[in-house]
Amino acid sequence: MCSVPAHRGRCRIRPVRYFAYGSNMLPSRLHARIGDFPSGAVGVAQGYQLRFHKRGSDGSAKCNALWTGDLRHVLYGAVYHITEGQKNLLDQFEGVGYVTANITVNSNRSRHPAFTYVAAKDHIDSSLYPFDWYKRFVLAGARDFKLPNPYIRNIELIAALADPDRSRSRRNLMLLERKSS
């Protein structure tokens, strides 16, 4: 279906801006989920903080964009242009516990509307820890986009656990290894 009609009967697909701040910030992770997309740019959302407290379906902590309202707080991430179809795929991956939020991000010296995923209140649990492979996805994305060193250092300081499901851990670590080769 055509979202933006163009001249001569052709159809243009209107992209949507997606602000990824967790594991999807890593291009290879996002590609494995939704296919090809143009390269992303660094984005900043003011008034948000990165937290690892969203309860994932595997019982571990996932990232959340926590709204604080304090403009001194900044959440770094990647801004990607994806299609509506890719967003629908991504909605399935994010699954239960995340809700879509429309936010404003600063990228390339201007402000843009974008969508992102934030934890539903009933899926926040500050007692959880991320699995080590998940934390590595977030760190790899932060390093790929050359986010500020103090920001990366804060992610490095987050405690993580070994995933008791070795098969899931291996699958995710293989994706990380493909990224680095």
Average pLDDT, the chain: 92
Is residue 136 a part of any domain in this protein?
Answer: yes
> At residue 1, does pLDDT exceed 50?
no
pLDDT of 153 > 80? The answer is yes
What's the mean pLDDT in 68-74? 97
User: What CATH number is associated with residue 54?
Assistant: 3.10.490.10
Give the pLDDT band of residue 177 (cuts 50, 70, 90): confident
Does residue 10 lie in a domain region?
A: no
Say how many CA atoms lie within 13 Å of 70 toward its Cβ.
6
**Residue ranges making up the domain that contains 69:** 15-180
SS3 84: helix
Q: Rounded to whole angstroms, how far apart are CA atoms 23 and 122?
A: 21
**Run of H or E residues at 30:** helix 27-34
The most distant pair of C-alpha atoms in the chain lies apart, rounded to whole Å, by: 57
pTM: 0.91
Residue 11 banded pLDDT, cuts 50, 70, 90: low
